Structure 1
Amino acid sequence: MIKENDQIPNGALTSKGDLGIQHYDPREIFAKGRHVLFAVPGAFTPTCSEKHLPGYVENAEALKKAGVQSINCLAVNDAFVMKAWGDSLGIGDQVRLLSDGNGAFSEALGLATDTGAFGGIRSKRYAMVIEDGVVEHLFVEDDKQFEVSKAEYVLEKLK
């Protein structure tokens, strides 16, 4: 599993924007500055939709004041599902929704989990702060927990 002081690996993430599918290499988009990347087990799931993603939207301004350049949400869903999820919650451009469609990036981080018939390979719930391409803070939740990956928790650690 990736740990603090490790460099973010390369990967292939996507998002659905106004101009179609956009492709991102995490090593490139997190190479300069301070960024938050948090992951949810799945779009449209209860905790993810009611608390996790909305918490980052509500705290976006405070995170930016704490030096965060971008806030990014990752899930092992396709880019179309991620776009529909963001639209349904009205998140606007406060948080970039990144699709790890086949779970390869989550696997590379060592943060993938097999949920079996529920949804197959998914990401564990976590948050990380990345500074100049290196993991500064990593907060990985235990199964069925939602404490250390919350926006409020991450914000407190940045103060």
Structure 2
Amino acid sequence: MTLERTSPPTIADERTMLRSHLDFHRQTLELKCADLTGDELRAHSMPPSTLSLLGLVRHMAEVERSWFRRVVNGEQDIPLVWSDNFDFQAAYDATGASASEAFAAWRAEVEHARRIEQAAESLDLVVRERRRGFNVSLRWVMLHMIHEYARHNGHADFLREGIDGVTGV
């Protein structure tokens, strides 16, 4: 499979910039995982950690779901994908997990997130983050998501290099 990553524009309106940077980081995570077997995707970073590339994909599916569907769209009754008790750490342990299931869930959540963001009239939309008890704007959520992906893509760099030496994707 050939994956492409689109560089964000250097000049654009704020919403286009945020969308482009978020999509760039989403594509980066997928590229870090490209052309690896299920076993390679499940390979742990180092004991006792269960961190793996597939765990990162699963975690980011939960993060997309939580911020865009639960917080921005107000879908409070939907559970996390891999935990019934809101344990975001559960997704990291991909031992025995199916790569196709994890990527399908992640891609579905990314598509939900895109539709929700595009339907919002303004980045100034304010929503309540009930779990922590504070209000956030859609702008803040998008910036937070860029931060989440950038941080975890750094982890993915090290994981991928440890699997087959590939760097710089």
Q: TM-score, normalised by structure 1?
A: 0.29
**More strand per residue:** 1
**More helix per residue:** 2
Q: Which has the larger radius of gyration?
A: 2
